Chains A and B, each alone.
Chain A
Amino acid sequence: MPSEPRTPAEPTLEELSAYLDHELDSAAEARVADHVAACDQCRARLEGLRETAHAIRALPMETPPRRFTIPEQRRRGWRWAPAGWIGSAAVALLLIAVGIQNLHLPAGPTATSGSFSTNSGGLANAPATRSEKGAVPPLSAPSPFTQQFDAQSAGAATNAATVVDSSNSARRLYPANDRMRVTVQLIGSPSTSLQSADQGLTLTLVRNGQGVALRPVGVESFNGTPIFGGWYDLASFPLSAPLAGDYRLQATWLIPDGSGRVLQVSVPVRIAG
């Protein structure tokens, strides 16, 4: 210890806080301890910090409101950043994935996963398709039956064209409490903007020529590929009655390169009554 008049030098706020956490090196720790033992003011400051840390630590650890799931298989054929696609401006790809999470299935016989497990086709020049479903074991707290169904279809075009996915497999949703996970990737976009307006991206759930617009939310720009998506709460869709029926979730991308090229892809979605 340096020979200070009476007590070692005033510890800083940072030192007092780190002292509480035993995150000081031993020399500094000894110095703070000596000082605090002799200085009422610093002892009070230390106790104040200690009380505060305790108050935060006393916050209850809360149970997640739902289970977290992962797809049964990894997305195949493409990674988040397929290097071959990115950077070659001539190529643009629009990928859409729709997943379904039934948080509260209707009472009665539960859905059979077989009828949900679909493998979608996609076009020949689509980089990949994927089909996913799965659930993780429950939390300790009772939670409703949960299963995630996820399938994807993809459509793509390399030039000015409108491409509609050829998949005919339906994803089934129940209107109450269901959430639909949508992921849209704009591969080869000249822009990294996560604003759907900048990207010229629209998402619509369509039936009989009538559509409900979904707001595509920019999620991230991963190695230059803008990704949009999110969970959509089915119950909040302003759909006209009867809700049940066959829909298509359609993504339309007016590629923002001034060429006027449009890519479009859709996946069938069935809402069960």
Chain B
Amino acid sequence: MFPSNNSNDDRDLVGRARRGDREAFTQLIVQYQVPLYNMALRMVGKPDDAADIAQEAFLRAWEKIRTLREAPFKSWLFQIAANLCYDHFRRGRRYGVMPDEEITSNVVGLGIATPGPQERAEANERTRLVRDCIQALDHDMRIAIVLRDVNGMAYEEIAAVLRVPLGTVKSRIARARAQVQEQLQRHPDFFPTTEDAHAE
């Protein structure tokens, strides 16, 4: 996926989708599924949960696209997904869950997630470490840094997604980075201190 300034290309697709054109909306899905899924994944940690959130976000966007007025589609879509992430945290459980026994034994914890064996094997240690550091952030800081450093959004775009002032975005990102940095520095084998590191 390219870093986005797709709002112009979106406009045509959004206009068609507003008139009920599934094909146009499908193109929007294709365009945003990877960044949206990855945003959710870095927020909630589990691939299944992230996919559920992305799916639900697309469904809601499709259902409500006629209410979209001036706002860029991308910010609006991410806003829907961000709200779903917060819902997920509030409920502390998955989107779709099964019979009672299943759910009680399966409540998703917050904080640093312990990856399953399979997951552990897939991800290399460094990736896992970074991911866990992000997971350890509080939700407000986490979403700000995910939108910035995972999704590459500008501060103004993040402010629109989160509906907070620019200054809040700035401070959440800075504090998130400082906290992640502090955690990473506990693992000098993966993250050499800045004396050894090279700036580009």
Contacts and interface: CB of A to CB of B under 8 A. Distances in A.
Contact of B48 (A65, A70, A229): A65
A55 interface: yes
A233 interface: yes
A64 interface: yes
A238 interface: yes
A70 to B, nearest CB: 4
Contact of B174 (A18, A58, A68): A18
A70 B25 CA distance: 9
A232 B96 CA distance: 5
Which size bracket describes the interface of B in this complex?
Answer: 35 or more
Contacts, number: 172
A217 B58 contact: no
Interface string A61-83: 11111111111111100001000
A113 interface: no
A70 B154 CA distance: 29
Contact of A231 (B41, B95, B101): B95
A177 to B, nearest CB: 12
Given A57-B149, A179-B96, A219-B95, 10 more contacts: A13-B175, A52-B180, A68-B33, A68-B55, A71-B62, A73-B20, A137-B26, A214-B98, A215-B97, A233-B96
Nearest to B40: A64
B60 to A, nearest CB: 8
Contact of B34 (A12, A50, A64, A233): A64
A58 B130 CA distance: 9
A56 B197 contact: no
B29 A233 contact: no
A215 B48 contact: no
Contacts of A73: 20, 22
Interface residues of A, number: 62
Interface stretch (A41-49, A159-167, A251-259): A41-49
B131 interface: yes
A59 B150 contact: yes
9 contacts: A17-B178, A51-B191, A52-B181, A57-B150, A65-B48, A68-B29, A68-B33, A217-B97, A219-B95
A265 interface: no
B177 interface: yes
Contact of A53 (B96, B149, B185, B197): B149
A60 B127 contact: yes
A47 B194 CA distance: 6
The majority secondary structure among interface residues of chain B is helix
B115 interface: no
Interface string A1-44: 00000000000111011100101000000000000000000001
A179 B56 CA distance: 14
A230 interface: yes
A212 interface: yes
Nearest to B155: A23
Given A213-B99, A231-B95, A62 B37 contact: yes
B51 A66 contact: yes
B170 A53 contact: no
B20 A23 contact: no
B91 interface: yes
A74 B191 CA distance: 50
A28 to B, nearest CB: 11
Nearest to B34: A61
A134 to B, nearest CB: 7
Interface in A214-242: 214-215, 217-220, 229-233, 236-238
Given A13-B174, A23-B170, A136 B130 contact: no
